[in-house]
C-alpha cells in the first residue's frame, strides 16, 4: 500500500465553487460538494477498488459515472480527469486525509475513509470546508 506524499494541504478557491454552482445549476443551499465526496467514497466502497490511469488519477470512467449521477459536465471529450481542478481537489483531499491509498494500479478505500462515511454530516461538511476556507 502506498499513499501519495501530501505534505501540504490543497485548497480550492471559493470563486471556483461559485462558478461551478452556476455551471451545474445548483441552488445555493445544496451541499453538492459534500455530496460529491460522499458519492466518490461510497462508490469506491461498493466497488472495492477503482483503476488508476497512467497519470496516477482515478480512471476517467469513474468520473464519467459520477458526472452522470450528479449531473455534472466537467469532463469534455478526450479530457483527462487530472485536468479538472475539482476532481484533482477531491483526490488530493482523499489522499491527504488517508481516505484512499493506491495498491498497484488501483485506488482502495481505507478504514479512515470508512470512518469518514460514518461521521455525522455536519462533521463531514466541516472537514471538507476546511480545505476551501482554511
Domain membership flag for residue 25: no
* pLDDT at residue number 30: 55
Tell whether 53 is covered by a domain: yes
pLDDT at 73: 74
Which residues have CB under 8 Å from 10's CB, separation 6+?
Answer: 88, 89, 92, 93, 96, 131
Q: Give the chain's residues under pLDDT 70.
A: 1-30, 134
For the domain that residue 93 is a member of, what is the CATH number? 1.10.10
Instruction: Measure the CA–CA gap between 60 and 82, rounded to whole angstroms.
Output: 9
Q: The whole model's pTM is what?
A: 0.74
Residue 17 lies in a domain: no
State the average pLDDT for the chain: 77
- Asked if residue 49 belongs to a domain, the reply is yes
Q: How many domains does the chain have?
A: 1
Classify residue 12: in a domain, yes or no. no
Domain ranges, residue 49? 32-132
pLDDT tens, residue by residue, 87-103: 888 889 999 999 999 98
In a domain? residue 26:
no
Please tell me the predicted confidence (pLDDT) of residue 17.
Answer: 57
What are the beta bridge partners of residue 101? 108
| Residue 117 confidence (pLDDT) | 96
Amino acid at each position: 500500500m502506498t499513499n501519495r506524499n501530501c505534505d501540504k494541504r490543497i485548497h480550492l478557491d471559493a470563486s471556483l465553487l461559485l462558478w461551478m454552482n452556476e455551471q451545474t445549476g445548483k441552488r445555493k443551499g445544496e451541499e453538492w460538494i459534500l455530496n460529491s465526496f460522499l458519492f466518490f467514497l461510497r462508490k469506491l466502497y461498493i466497488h472495492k477498488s477503482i483503476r488508476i490511469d497512467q497519470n496516477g488519477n482515478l480512471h476517467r470512467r469513474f468520473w464519467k459515472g459520477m458526472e452522470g449521477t450528479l449531473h455534472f459536465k466537467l469532463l469534455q471529450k478526450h479530457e483527462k480527469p487530472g485536468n479538472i481542478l475539482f476532481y484533482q481537489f477531491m483526490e488530493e483531499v482523499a489522499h491527504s486525509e488517508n481516505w484512499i491509498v493506491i495498491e498497484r494500479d488501483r485506488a482502495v478505500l481505507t478504514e479512515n475513509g470508512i470512518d469518514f462515511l460514518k461521521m455525522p454530516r455536519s462533521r463531514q461538511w466541516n472537514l471538507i470546508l476546511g480545505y476551501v476556507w482554511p
